[in-house]
Every structure is written in C-alpha cells, then in structure tokens.
Amino acid sequence: MKHLLSAGDLSRDEATLILDTAAELLSVAKRPIKKLPTLRGRTIVNLFFEDSTRTRISFEAAAKRLSADVINFSAKGSSASKGESLKDTALTLQAMGADAVVIRHHASGAPYRLAHSKWSNGAVVNAGDGTHEHPTQALLDAFTMRSHLGDLAGKDITIVGDVLHSRVARSNALLLDTLGANVTLVAPPTLLPVGVETWPVATSYDFDASLEKADAVMMLRVQRERMNASFFPSAREYSRRYGLDVARMNRLPQHAIVMHPGPMNRGMEINADVADSDRSVIVEQVTNGVAVRMAVLYLLLGGATEGEDS
Amino acid sequence: MSTVIKGAKLLGEQVADICIEDGVITQVGSDLTGDTVVDATGLIALPGLVDLHTHLREPGREDAETVLTGTQAAARGGFTCVFAMANTEPVADTAGVVEQVWRLGREHGYADVQPIGAVTIGLAGEHLAELGAMADSAAKVRVFSDDGKCVSDAVLMRRALEYVKAFDGVIAQHAQEPRLTEGAQMNEGPLSGELGLTGWPAVAEEAIIARDVLLAEHVGSRLHVCHLSTRGSVEIVRWAKSRGINVTAEVTPHHLLLDDELVRSYDPIFKVNPPLRSADDVLAVREGLADGTIDIVATDHAPHPMEDKECEWQAAAFGMIGLETALSIVQQTMVDTGALTWEQVAEKLSSNPARIGRVANHGRPLAVGEPAHVVLYDPTATRVVEPSDTASLSRNTPYAGRELPGRVVATFLAGRPTVLEGELQ
C-alpha cells in the first residue's frame, strides 16, 4: 500500500490490518502520555483545499501522536484558486521533503492526480475529494461498527441520505462490501447516482422498510441547498420521509447503532433526541477517527514491512 | 511551371499521375512529365481535406493557437481548408472579425480559412448577431454557430434557422441543454457515479437535436449538428433524414476512438465537450458514419495551454487538438475495420464538409480542371504520437504514446506544396 486513495483499493486483509492496528493504537489514547516515537523525523503535510476543521485536526492529532512533524497547509483562499496551484503546491511540498501528503480537495480525483503525477513522490492519503471518496471516514465507521457489532460479515448496514453527493457513502459502500456486510442505500431517487445498480449494494426509496433488520443506520448530511436544486421539495418533506426520529429509532433492533459522519443538521436528517440518545455512537466515531488515521499513517509510512519496499 | 505527382493511388484505387499547373489539375493519366516530379508510389491521393470545425483561437488566445500555427497543423494533417469557429475574443460576431480571420488565413497560405460566424452576439444566446453582414462580407460566411455554447432558446434557434435561408446559410448547433449539464464533467453513467464527477447525460444532447430537427422541418431550413456523440443522437438524425429533414451531422475523430473509461485516470487530457461517451456510443457513431447518417468527420481541434490541462479534472479546460491525427484515427477506426473505403473517406473529410459549408473550390474531385488541393497519404506507415511533434502551439493531444497508422506525406494547396516529405514548407 503506497497511497490511500479509494476505500475500494483495500483488500479485505489490508482493511482488517488497518482496523486491527487502530485497535492497538486506540489504547495509546488512554495513556497519560499519548505519544509513540514511530514516525519521528517524518514529515506529514495536511494539504487542505477545502475547509474541514474536524478532519484536519483528526489527522493532525494522529500524526503528532506518532511523533511525525506536521505541516498544515490551507490552500483555501490563497491566491491560487485555479488548478495549477495543485501542481505548484505539490512541487513545493516535494521540495520540502514531505513523506506523506494528506489531501482534502473540492475536486473529485485530485488525490489520484497528485499520486499519479510526477509532481510528488510521497504517500498520498485522500482526506475527502469532491463527491468521490473519503476512505478514512469509511475505515473509522467500520472500526466503530466492528467494536459494537463484532465481525461485519453478514451484518446489515443502512446508509440514508444524499448518496449522490456523498463521498462518505461511496467509500462506505465499497469498504463494507469488502468486509462482507450487506449495505442498503436509502434515498429519494433524485439523490441516488445514475448507475447505482452496478454498486455492490441494495437500494431503497423507503426508509421505514429497512429499519427492522438494520444492525447500524448511518445518516448522511443533507445540505438544505439541495432543496433549491429540486432534489426534494422541502426540508420538512425530506425530514418526514428520510429523517431519523425517535419513532423510527424505536423500530430498530435493540442492538442497532446510529451513526453520522458529521457535521449534523439536527432537525433535518437526524432528530436531536436521536443524536443524543444511547444508540448514537457519533462522538465515538470522532475518537476512533484519530486511531484509524494513526493506523493508516503508520502502515503507509513505516510500520509495516510491505510499506517500505515501494 | 508544372508539378507531376507520380504513381499515386487515386482515392486508394487506380494508380495514375496527376499534373498540376497554376493551381489547377491539368492532366490525370499515365507517364506524365513536368518541371517538378513528386514520387507518390504506394501513396494514396485524396482531395485536400476540409475541416468544418476548427478552433484557431486568434484573435484573443494567441497563447494557445494562431491562424498561422493552426493552419500549419491543418496542412500537416492533410487539410487545405478549415472552418474557424466563432468563439474567439472578441467573438466572431461581426463582419470585421470574420474578415480579419479570413485575411490572416489568406496571408499565411497554409490552408484556406473560412470563418464561422456567431449566431448570437457574444455567444450570449440573447440577440441574433448580424448574420447578413457576415454573409455579405469578404469572408462570405455561410456557417453560423455558437459552438461551445448551445443556442438553447427555442425561439432564437427557430429565427436563426429561418433567417439564414436568405443567403443559403446553415446553423451548426452545439447540442447541449444547459440546465441538464450544469457543472457537468463527464458522460453520465455508472462511471460518473463511481468517480464522483458530475454527469453529462446523453439526453442533454439528444433533446436539443430532436428539437432542432423538428424546428428545421417546420421552417424548412438547413441544420448541421456539431460533434454528435451518443447512440440516441445517431438514431434521431437517422430518423430525421428518413423524413427528408435537411439535416447534416458530424462526429469527431476522438468520439470514433476513445471512450469514457479513460476518465478513470482523472487526467484532463481526456476532458472534452461533448464528453467521451461509452464504448457502445463509440460503436454507434461508427455505424452512423458508415451508413451515411453522419455526413462528415470534423476535428473540433481545440488547443489549450498546458496549465489548463495540468491540473485537477474539474478545473481543467474542455478540448483536444486533432488536426494532425484526424486522418490516422479515421483510418484506424473506419478504413482498417472495413467500414469505409478511401473514396468514402474523401466524402466524409472533403466533399461533404465543403458542400455543407458552401465553399465551391474545395472538396472537388481529383479531375482535370479542378483546383489542385491534394493530399498524399501513406496508409502503411505507423507512428507513436509524441505531443511535442506538432505545429500547433498547444500539446493537448489525447493520443500521446499511442501507435497510430498512416502518415500525411504531402499536402498541396492550390498546387503549392504546404507539406512535403511530412515537413511543412
């Protein structure tokens, strides 16, 4: 594994190794001194072309706990808003000796472009690209599910909301399929991409029909602006048909968990009572995010032997 | 001063000599002699190619292409006449701009440049440009297009179709329903969903073509469909022709060869408008070209500077260069597959585009008394495309590293060689 660009690139063994490594690293967070010397002397750049405080600080914490040097580079609002900035920025980072670049970009495929260009030869970690993928989010979601549900093989996972624009949904669908789970995507037809029938998932327009068998329900953020583009008639109608409220939550099996990648639109896709309920593992997802990102950086940059030979 | 081309296969068939004097073919036969002899043994002679869809970028984007470099690239591709699209800066929407472009072509002498006039002022899709003034100008504009943008307003399109009847003009429509393609990045299908790139549905093209052929029928006008790219578009044009509607259609070389799987690389060298479509669409446009539904191949040669392609997909410009590779792509996709003869290639790349564009002295047969626009082509040669090996100022070829068949050996524009031994003269 040289880069982490798509959750679909991970084999079941690789994904399991990341999750197992994360489990070990999670224990570090419980120590008084939360730091390992593993990546001492290595430089990791957080290259964020799009605002995302929570993802950036999660990666930053992960890198620092492994003793790496971290450079935060926020390209948003800098003079270069056009594409060539990616090349020039990459060349700059390369010249500074970055061992890994964690990139968040509004353009789908930007991490792939960075990894496959000659502009940089460090490891590239996709921290969310456009409406494409967000593989570390899928890994932390899988980690969270695994810690509550055990082995994910055969588990029923329902993902609800704006699948069309969601990089979280894409990465989760691919990774959960790799791990053997049964994924159902629930959305109004306007928010499912053309060609979704070729994905390794089931789809449904009816949230209520998928509640009773779900081991986990993951609610996706739905931006209110989608309403203005006629993806759905109104926020209220969306909420009635696809929002997770207490009545729907009560129809879930006793062991089922409720997830959300954040940031939440309380009152839109998820009701406040649900978000704050015992079923909700949303805060835990954040904690696990640091451990999973530690595992990814560790395995890419120095931990595993197979990471060294490329 | 006479030039004799010895031993070429005319339209890929009969071997003959061609004698050229004063820009005209004066003899076709055997054992001809002349002051200059060009040995064309084993080469195919075709009438000079005509490109109905070229972006020369001058005026305005001389960093990407000029009339000089664009026509040099044309000559290297075997073209003797190119139609320059109107989306320059300023837009070619007045007699002044079209005459300037036309004159530059004449001064440089690498290919005749026939300007295309904008349909609407500034390509804004609001008010008709002075189509009559452009038609009456020295450039004698007959093809009008807002290419790059669609004349999406149905009333404006109707009026344009009607108005150009007064001077036998044609509206060349860039068929792209704007609302269905807001932010669109690639062909809409399973792959766009997978790659997270905003989809460009086939229906956005097909709906406009369907509307336009019905409008053309209603007002009895002539319509040309630019760069159609989908199976549905082919079917609509086929249906329209079967009803006797006066419509012609073009396909680009890249839509004959490349499909949307290339977008997996996220390399914007493959970003083009209309987008690369599915493999099935590629088959459909080949069938359409073979059965005459599609009348011509036109390059949509669209030069862009490096920085507009060396970036993220979403930020990159749409377009590919294609003048110097067009004939090779047509050979590979249509001739080597048995779908077209060389005689039919001459129709698709020379006589048909000249007829659609109403240029009288191009696209003529290789016969005595005809203008001496001739291309000599070696179909047995092969080459690996090297982006820097181009006369264009731009390098955005999607064929880099591909081995393509064929090579343009010589091009004659009105008897004068613009290319000899593959080199610009």
Buried b (16+ CB within 10 A) or exposed e, B154-169: eebbbbbbbbbeeeeb
* Distance between CA atoms of residues B128 and B135, nearest Å: 14
Side chain identity at residue A211, one-letter code: L
Q: Which of A109, A170, A193 shows the shortest C-beta gap to B313? A: A109
Judge contact between A268 and A235, C-beta under 8 A: yes
Side chain identity at residue B348, one-letter code: K
Alpha helical stretches, state H, B49-185: 67-76, 95-108, 131-136, 154-163
Q: Do A120 and A98 share a structural domain?
A: yes
Residue A32 scores a pLDDT above 90: no
Pairing mode of beta strands B403-413, B15-21: unpaired
Domain with residue A180: its CATH number is 3.40.50.1370
Residue A2 domain flag = no
Predicted TM-score (pTM) of this structure: 0.94
Nearest by Cα to B38 from B4, B79, B14: B4
List the structure tokens of B66.
């000029």
Residue A304 scores a pLDDT above 80: no
Which range among A83-97, A232-246, B233-247, B297-311 shows the weakest confidence by mean pLDDT? A83-97
Query: Which residues 168-207 of chain A have a CB within 8 Å of chain B?
Result: 170, 193-196, 198-199
Helix (H, G, I), strand (E, B), or coil: what is residue A188?
Answer: coil
Yes or no, beta carbons of B191 and A106 under 8 Å apart = no
Judge contact between B179 and B208, C-beta under 8 A: no
Best probe of the A interface among B260, B264, B266, by most A CBs < 10 A, is B266
Residue partners of A17: CB distance under 8 A and separation at least 6: A299, A304
Q: pLDDT averaged over chain A?
A: 91
**How much is the pLDDT for A257?**
98
Quick one: closest CA in A to B198, which residue? A131
Give the model's confidence band at A88: pLDDT under 50 very low, under 70 low, under 90 confident, else very high: confident
Contacts of B199 in chain A (CB under 8 A): 193-194
Alpha helical stretches, state H, B190-312: 190-195, 202-219, 231-242, 253-257, 279-290
Domain that holds residue A91: 7-134+286-307
Pairing mode of beta strands B223-225, B170-173: parallel
Tens-level pLDDT at each residue, chain B (425 residues): 899 999 999 999 999 999 999 999 999 999 999 999 999 999 999 999 999 999 999 999 999 999 999 999 999 999 999 999 999 999 999 999 999 999 999 999 999 999 999 999 999 999 999 999 999 999 999 999 999 999 999 999 999 999 999 999 999 999 999 999 999 999 999 999 999 999 999 999 999 999 999 999 999 999 999 999 999 999 999 999 999 999 999 999 999 999 999 999 999 999 999 999 999 999 999 999 999 999 999 999 999 999 999 999 999 999 999 999 999 999 999 999 999 999 999 999 999 999 999 999 999 999 999 999 999 999 999 999 999 999 999 999 999 999 999 999 999 999 999 999 999 99
Q: Which is it for the CA torsion A280, A283, A285, A288, positive or negative?
A: negative
Contacts of B194 in chain A (CB under 8 A): 170, 195, 198-199
List the structure tokens of B348.
């698709």
How many other β-carbons are positioned within 10 Å of the β-carbon of residue B297? 30
Residue A1 domain flag = no
Residue A76 scores a pLDDT above 70: no
**Residues of A belonging to the active site:** 54-55, 82, 104, 134
Q: Do A142 and A87 share a structural domain?
A: no
pLDDT 10s digits, A154-171: 999 999 999 999 999 999
Q: Do A258 and A177 share a structural domain?
A: yes
List the structure tokens of A242.
């696809």
Query: How far does the CA of residue B304 sit from the closest CA of chain A (Å)?
Result: 14
Contacts of B267 in chain A (CB under 8 A): 113
Q: Which of A107, A116, A199 shows the shortest C-beta gap to B312? A: A107
* Distance between CA atoms of residues B354 and B348, nearest Å: 10
Q: Do A176 and A113 share a structural domain?
A: no
Quick one: closest CA in B to A106, which residue? B314
Q: Do A303 and A240 share a structural domain?
A: no
**How much is the pLDDT for A85?**
74
**How much is the pLDDT for B106?**
95
Long-range CB pairs of B241-244, under 8 A, 24+ apart, other chains included: B241/B293, B243/B217
ω before B47 within 30° of 0 (cis)? no
Contacts of B196 in chain A (CB under 8 A): 108-109, 129-133, 167, 170
Yes or no, beta carbons of A109 and B194 under 8 Å apart = no
Give the DSSP H or E segment for A247. Answer: helix A246-250
Buried b (16+ CB within 10 A) or exposed e, B356-376: bbbbeebbbebeeebbbbbbb
Yes or no, beta carbons of A108 and B195 under 8 Å apart = yes
How many other β-carbons are positioned within 10 Å of the β-carbon of residue B35? 9
Nearest by Cα to A36 from A18, A60, A63: A63
Judge contact between B285 and B251, C-beta under 8 A: yes
Quick one: closest CA in B to A197, which residue? B190
Q: Per CB distance under 8 Å, which residues of B are interface residues toward A?
A: 185, 188-199, 201, 265-267, 307-308, 310-316
Query: How far does the CA of residue A111 sit from the closest CA of chain B (Å)?
Result: 9
Give the DSSP H or E segment for A60. Answer: helix A53-65
Query: How far does the CA of residue B183 sit from the closest CA of chain A (Å)?
Result: 12
Size of interface A-B (CB pairs under 8 A): 86
Alpha helical stretches, state H, A129-233: 135-149, 167-178, 225-228
Long-range CB pairs of B31-35, under 8 A, 24+ apart, other chains included: B32/B4, B32/B6, B33/B4, B34/B2, B34/B3, B34/B4, B35/B1, B35/B2, B35/B3
- Average pLDDT value for residue range A13-29: 93
Helix (H, G, I), strand (E, B), or coil: what is residue B397?
Answer: coil
Quick one: closest CA in A to B263, which residue? A109
Q: Do A147 and A251 share a structural domain?
A: yes
Yes or no, beta carbons of B311 and A82 under 8 Å apart = yes
Q: Is A227 exposed, middle or buried (0-12, 13-18, 19+ CB in 10 A)?
A: middle
How many other β-carbons are positioned within 10 Å of the β-carbon of residue A266? 14
How many other β-carbons are positioned within 10 Å of the β-carbon of residue B186? 24
Quick one: closest CA in B to A170, which residue? B194
Q: What is the count of structural domains for chain A?
A: 2
Yes or no, beta carbons of B195 and A132 under 8 Å apart = yes
According to DSSP, residue B164 is labeled G
Residue A305 scores a pLDDT above 70: no
List the structure tokens of A293.
């990102």
Q: Do A229 and A108 share a structural domain?
A: no
Residue A79 scores a pLDDT above 70: no
Nearest by Cα to B171 from B117, B94, B124: B117
pLDDT 10s digits, A132-159: 999 999 999 999 999 999 999 999 999 9
Query: How far does the CA of residue B354 sit from the closest CA of chain A (Å)?
Result: 39
Side chain identity at residue A232, one-letter code: F
Quick one: closest CA in B to A82, which residue? B315
Yes or no, beta carbons of A133 and B196 under 8 Å apart = yes
Yes or no, beta carbons of B315 and A82 under 8 Å apart = yes
**Residues of B belonging to the active site:** 300
Contacts of B204 in chain A (CB under 8 A): none
pLDDT 10s digits, A171-218: 999 999 999 999 999 999 999 999 999 999 999 999 999 999 999 999
ipTM over cut 0.85: yes
Residue A45 domain flag = yes
Buried b (16+ CB within 10 A) or exposed e, A56-93: bebbbbbbbbbebbbbebebeeeeeeebbbbbebbeeb
Q: Do A145 and A238 share a structural domain?
A: yes
Query: How far does the CA of residue B196 sit from the closest CA of chain A (Å)?
Result: 4
Best probe of the B interface among A47, A133, A194, by most B CBs < 10 A, is A194
Query: Which residues 74-113 of chain A have a CB within 8 Å of chain B?
Result: 82-84, 86-87, 105-110, 112-113
- The partner residues of B74 in beta bridges, in order of sequence, read none
According to DSSP, residue A106 is labeled S
Helix (H, G, I), strand (E, B), or coil: what is residue A240?
Answer: helix
Helix (H, G, I), strand (E, B), or coil: what is residue B50?
Answer: strand
Query: How far does the CA of residue A206 sit from the closest CA of chain B (Å)?
Result: 21
**How much is the pLDDT for A307?**
39
Residue A88 domain flag = yes
Q: What is the DSSP secondary-structure string of A73-104?
A: EE-TTSS--STHHHHHHHHHHHHTT-SEEEEE
Yes or no, beta carbons of B312 and A170 under 8 Å apart = no
Q: Where are the beta strands (DSSP E) in chain A?
A: 43-48, 69-74, 100-105, 123-129, 156-160, 182-186, 202-204, 216-219, 257-259
Residue partners of A254: CB distance under 8 A and separation at least 6: none
What architecture is the B48-361 domain classified under in CATH? Alpha-Beta Barrel (3.20)
Q: Do A183 and A99 share a structural domain?
A: no
**How much is the pLDDT for B80?**
98
Q: Do A176 and A124 share a structural domain?
A: no
Give the residue with greater pLDDT, A251 vs A81: A251
Residue A80 scores a pLDDT above 80: no
Contacts of B198 in chain A (CB under 8 A): 131
Q: Which is it for the CA torsion B19, B21, B27, B33, positive or negative?
A: negative
Yes or no, beta carbons of A194 and B188 under 8 Å apart = yes
**How much is the pLDDT for A119?**
85
In chain A, the percentage of residues whose pLDDT exceeds 70 is 95
Residue partners of B221: CB distance under 8 A and separation at least 6: B161, B162, B164, B165, B171, B215, B246
Q: Do A280 and A139 share a structural domain?
A: yes
Q: Do A281 and A141 share a structural domain?
A: yes
Quick one: closest CA in B to A87, which residue? B311
Helix (H, G, I), strand (E, B), or coil: what is residue A294?
Answer: helix
Query: Can you give the residue ranges of every domain in chain B?
Result: 48-361
Q: Which of A86, A130, A194 shows the shortest C-beta gap to B199? A: A194
Give residue A233's Cα distance to chain centre: 28
